[in-house]
Structure 1
Amino acid sequence: MATLSSIRSPGVYIQELPAGSRPIEGVGTAIAAFVGITADGPYDQAIKVANWGQYTATFGTWVEGAYLPNAVYQYFNNGGGSAYITRIGSLSSDEGARASAELTSALKAGQGVYRIEAKEPGGAGDTITVTVEPKHEQEPPPEGEQAPPAEEVFTLVVQRGDTVERYEGVTPRKGGNNVVNALAESTLVRISEIGGSSIVERVPTAGQLVLSGGASLPARLTPDDYLGDVTARSGIAGLEALDDVTIVAVPDLVAAYEAGQIDADGFKAVQGALITHCEQQKDRVAILDTPRGLNAQQVLEWVKEKTRFSSAYATTYWPWLSFWDPLAGRARLFPPSGALAGIWGRNDDTRGVHKAPANEVVAGALDVELNITRVEHDDLNPAGINVIRAFPGRGITVWGARTLSDDTTWRYINVRRLFNYIESSVLRGTQWAVFEPNDLDLWQRIKRTVNGFLMGLWRDGALFGATPDQAFYVKCDEETNPPDVVDAGYVVIEIGIAPVKPAEFVVFRVSQLPTGGAVQE
């Protein structure tokens, strides 16, 4: 845009002027980050997925002994948005189980005749399928060889993703079409005979098998695997490079603790690092899990005496929840962090980040590990332990909304997350002000911009007050910006906010009136 002083010749000029203050767009509030064990995918880098399908395409499905895959599934099932996944615990080339399956005899039910094993160790083999197709028209045998009976000829199809290997006309008999010899060329699997069967009994049953058993907890897992390195973008430290994360969880920390790979001190060190990460970033909150099998008194001792965390950027839920486990084929207990992260996202979408994510039903939960009494709950709630309870006729419900902070100002999760949302939104929405002339005009423009954003929050019910003046204020004038501050290159804006607090205790006072329906003044 040309300035007036730059116009030197007669003519008509057009100047485009900025239209007053620039609106602040609210940042996302429900993007989670999970660190743990997956069946497949790249190690030590955060990959963003938008749904369960994208997760399985990159990281595979379930892992024996790990909790992260189920946590991510429950996150999306309960309404969570996008999520970052960081896989840890890399295996060496000769370490880890190989997925496998047995082909059974078509003649003797249940009798194993061939063992199929993935060539690649780890969870990649769990996505391989092997299909046995029944007999088809045979090709003439090589010269000098006798053709096997037609019922002893079959086709094997080995597939992983888009890679398909088809072996037609194979047979258990010796010769060029022997099934073991034919599959020696496979890049995906290897096959071996299971002894004790005649040739005719070694013809496998038609149908499809899925290899399994390759994905499991790494043999060695240490706190350092979780802590990671910001330079390498690995583990918890690597999440520093992500600006849009608002929720973090490490559900597999409990799996390593149960497997004896990490002791209580290591458990506490990892969760402490997770809290420190959130406090330094100031835009995210950690959901902490407790070990399985604790009763009400034990979980109180764990939180108040063993871990002793005090932070507005962390919260914990208990007890564990029962979900269906496709890998085990039965219901099994899982830590609640994944489902709760999804509930936070669902609550943000339907009510707003200012609404406490409590009195919400856990989708997919079959039961709680332990039902507690009101007296037990009386001890847990003041300690910041958010209890999940099963109420008759109401389902399995989140019945707590507190952080682990000892500061009553930051007692509630929704207050901390509302401030995270406001601070991040204002930070991003006022970048235009950097290097602008530091004068009264700039101060007024900034004030109008922030006022407009907070006014929208007040109208949405996120701020407490009958009028905007009661709900918030924005100050940017000569008082906050004296000459020495301006000369130093600063512009200081002061913002006051009155957040809404949850109605945690609803009290009805009932009294008996001396006369029928008379109202006592």
Structure 2
Amino acid sequence: VRGIFEVDEITMLACPDVMRAYQEQILNLDQVHGIIELMISMCEGSASGDIPNPPNRMVVLDAPPDAVKPQQVVEWLNRFNRRSMFAALYYPWIKVPNPRDRGNPILVPPCGHVMGVWARTDETRGVYKAPANEVPRGVIGLGYDTNFREQELLNPLGINCIRNFPNRGIRIWGARTLVEPDKTEWRYISVRRLISYIEKSLELGTQWVVFEPNDQDLWARVTRTVSNFLERIWREGALFGASPAQAFYVKCDEELNPPETRILGRLYIEVGVCPVRPAEFVVFRISQWNGIEDSE
């Protein structure tokens, strides 16, 4: 697994063979948890420098094959007892055509198809669009048909359901990370991936700054560069606000870069953004009206 993290371009990680190995009794559940823990920890980044920092990856996880019903998935997640804004969990397993026997579909972990939906959404809309209410292509059935009440149990825990809807087909019906439930700012996959995208883009887009004279002229040029990038993604719909001033701010001045930091050869840039969040719940207010206005 560690070899994957030598490739900077990787932004999505999954390992469906982990659950397959557990299904075939090649690995036990504790070993599976150890591998998942390694993947999550490496996606979170490391201050030691062994792993890219800031982190720019998320891992897509599968429920175990023996966690068929919703309550079993909840029990497994409680036993695993690991939360992270850099992980997303999907349930249930999905049915796909069997390449060896077309008459008998097989159940496979959903992470591969989910990553395909993530990539397709990135290309057609952008990382700021939640990869949900989307059709995973090639899926012909589900290992378990989750209903609305069961989703109400799973969704607050960060378990993203794949559901079959009448007349709409099979759709991914969840867009949450596995972050702790009280950390609402990192609840959604699209928000976490957007911030990672911005961080990585700014890191790469400001490489020209290195070894430039650290003065007011440089601070102004850096501010313009970063502001132009953020305004572009605001116009694309990634940031919330009626104007750029409401959507983000960029600060690079003498207050952030006093003489003691300039002596150390450092340049500090402060950036704040307001990401858009998915409309997870649509609330309709319905009332009856007789069409007659009351008048005094």
* Partner residue in 2 for 1:365: 139
Q: Secondary structure at the match of 1:271?
A: helix
Which residue of 1 is the match for residue 239 of structure 2? 463
Matches within 5 A, 1:43-442: 236-280=1-45, 281=52, 282-293=55-66, 294-303=68-77, 305-329=78-102, 330-406=104-180, 407-442=183-218
User: How far 1:457 moved relative to its partner?
Assistant: 0.4
Q: Give the CA deviation at 1:326.
A: 0.7
State the shift of 1:328 in Å: 3.4
Residue 504 of structure 1 and its aligned partner are, at CA, apart by 0.3
Distance 1:518 1:320, change over 3 A: farther
Paired with 2:197 and 2:272, the residues of 1 have a C-alpha distance of 15
CA-to-aligned-CA distance 1:290-312 (integer Å, 9 cap, x gap): 11242010011111x11112101
SS of 1:345's partner is helix
Distance 2:8 2:147 in 1: 41
Distance 1:517 1:270 in 2: 66
Shift of 1:519: 10
- Matches of 1:251 and 1:519 in 2, distance apart? 64
SS in 2 for 1:401: coil
Q: Give the Cα–Cα distance (whole angstroms) in 2 for the partners of residues 518 and 506 of structure 1.
A: 29
TM-score (norm 2): 0.93
Deviation at 1:240, TM superposition (A): 1.9
CA distance in 2, matches of 1:518, 1:427: 60
Return 482-491 or 241-250, whichever deviates more.
Answer: 482-491
Residues 517, 311 of structure 1: alpha-carbon distance in 2 compared, 3 angstrom cutoff? farther
Query: Aligned partner of 1:494: which letter?
Result: E
Other structure's SS at 1:325 match? coil
Q: Counterparts of 1:326 and 1:394 in 2: how far apart (Å)?
A: 26
| Superposition map of 1:469-484 within 5 A | 469-484=245-260
Whole-Å separation in 2 of the counterparts to 1:358 and 1:438: 44
Alignment: residue pair count: 283
Question: Aligned to 2:90, what secondary structure does the other structure show?
Answer: strand
Aligned to 2:153, the other structure's residue is in SS state helix
1:454 counterpart SS class: helix
> What is the letter of the counterpart of residue 354 of structure 1?
Y
Aligned partners of 2:116 and 2:136 also within 8 Å: no
Amino acid across the alignment from 1:311: S
Aligned residues: percent identity? Answer: 49
For the residues of structure 2 that align with 1:440 and 1:264, how far apart are their CA atoms?
57
**What is the rounded CA distance, in whole Å, between the counterparts of 2:148 and 2:37 in structure 1?**
30
- Amino acid aligned to 2:29: A
RMSD: 1.4
| SS in structure 2 of the partner of residue 396 of structure 1 | strand
Structure 2: 5+ residue stretches without partners: 46-51
Corresponding residue number in structure 1 for 2:291: 516
Deviations along 1:320-379, one digit per CA (max 9) or x if unpaired, are 110001123321111100000000010011111100000001111101111122111111
Distance 1:364 1:474, change over 3 A: same
Instruction: Identify, as 1 or 2, the structure richer in strand.
Output: 1
Shift of residue 487, structure 1, vs aligned partner: 1.4
**Superposition TM-score, scaled by structure 1 size:** 0.53
One-letter identity of the residue aligned with 2:223: K
Between 1 and 2, higher relative CO (CA 8 Å, sep ≥ 6) is seen in 1
CA spacing shift, 1:391–1:438, aligned 2, 3 Å: same
Give, in whole Å, the separation in 2 of the partners of 1:518 and 1:405: 50
* CA 1:481–1:344: 2 relative to 1, 3 Å: same
CA distance in 2, matches of 1:364, 1:332: 12
Aligned to 1:443: 219
In structure 1, distance between residues paired with 2:241 and 2:177: 24
- Structure showing greater radius of gyration is 1
Q: Which SS does the other structure have where 2:105 is aligned?
A: strand
More helix as a share of residues: 2
Q: Which deviations, in whole Å up to 9, do the C-alpha atoms of 1:57-86 show, x marking residues without a partner?
A: xxxxxxxxxxxxxxxxxxxxxxxxxxxxxx
CA displacement, residues 83-104 of structure 1 (integer Å, 9 cap, x when unaligned): xxxxxxxxxxxxxxxxxxxxxx
- Runs of 4+ deviating beyond 4 Å: 517-520
